[in-house]
Amino acid sequence: PERTLVLIKPDGVTRHLTGEVLRRIEAKGYTIVALEQRTVGTELLTEHYAEHQGKPFFAPLLEFMMSGPVVAAIAEGHGVIEGFRSLAGTTNPTSAAPGTIRGDLGRDWGTTVQQNLVHGSDSPESAEREIALWFPQG
Ligand code: GTP
Ligand code: MG
């Protein structure tokens, strides 16, 4: 079955929303098949966010992602890549639809980089690449 990489970003972990995010994934019917909380460094994040290298928010994005622990998970189920993106809502939490993780639980705090609680892989290729990066042991 299809798998996607989910990250609960430092804002989500610090605000004690780990359980709430995992609850929504499970309530939707997906299965959590791997789960780990850890702090991460520049090397992993530079690879993870390679597509954003050179953009003005790249350095603040990495700084934000290193500001506290991250929860990394693999969620599994038919259609989970698109399904989790749908649960998460759009990137900007101010305009993300109510009912979504970002829309219900996120807001703009006036920081340089958007703090939007979660990450989800955006394609099958991204999912494969990101799962190998965050869970190299398989
Ligand atoms: P991720 O799941 O984290 O990958 O978010 P996303 O797929 O919704 O957004 P994207 O991959 O385009 O950007 C990654 C992260 O960079 C976002 O979650 C934001 O925190 C930040 N970001 C992206 N675009 C912008 C932007 O235009 N301005 C600012 N300030 N931050 C941005
Ligand atoms: Mg993205």
- What torsion, rounded to 10 degrees, do the Cα atoms 42, 108, 99, 119 define? -10
- In ligand 1, the atom with minimum distance to the C-alpha of 64 is 20
Mean pLDDT of 49-75: 97
- 114 Cα–ligand 1 center, Å: 7
In whole angstroms, how far apart are CA 64 and each of 22, 29, 101?
Answer: 21, 30, 19
91 is in an annotated binding site: yes
Nearest residue by C-alpha to atom 16 in ligand 1: 61
- CA separation for the pair 123, 119 (Å, rounded): 12
116 is in an annotated binding site: yes
Question: What value of ipTM does the predicted structure carry?
Answer: 0.88
Residue type, 66: M
Whether pLDDT at 92 is above 90: yes
- Domains identified in the chain and CATH numbers: 3-86+113-134 (3.30.70.141)
Nearest residue by C-alpha to atom 31 in ligand 1: 113
| Token pair 């609960």: residue | 8
3 is in an annotated binding site: no
- 120 Cα–ligand 2 center, Å: 7
What tens digit of pLDDT does each residue of 103-115 get? Answer: 999 999 999 999 9
What is the band of 34 on the pLDDT scale with cuts at 50, 70, 90?
A: very high
Instruction: Indicate which residues carry an active-site annotation.
Output: 119
Answering whether pTM is above 0.90, one says yes
Whether pLDDT at 65 is above 80: yes
3-class DSSP string for the chain: CCEEEEEECHHHHHCCCHHHHHHHHHHHCCEEEEEEEECCCHHHHHHHCHHHCCCCCHHHHHHHHCCCCEEEEEEECCCHHHHHHHHHCCCCCCCCCCCCHHHHHCCCCCCCCCCCCEEECCCHHHHHHHHHHHCCCC
State if residue 116 touches ligand 1 by the CB under 6 angstroms criterion.
yes
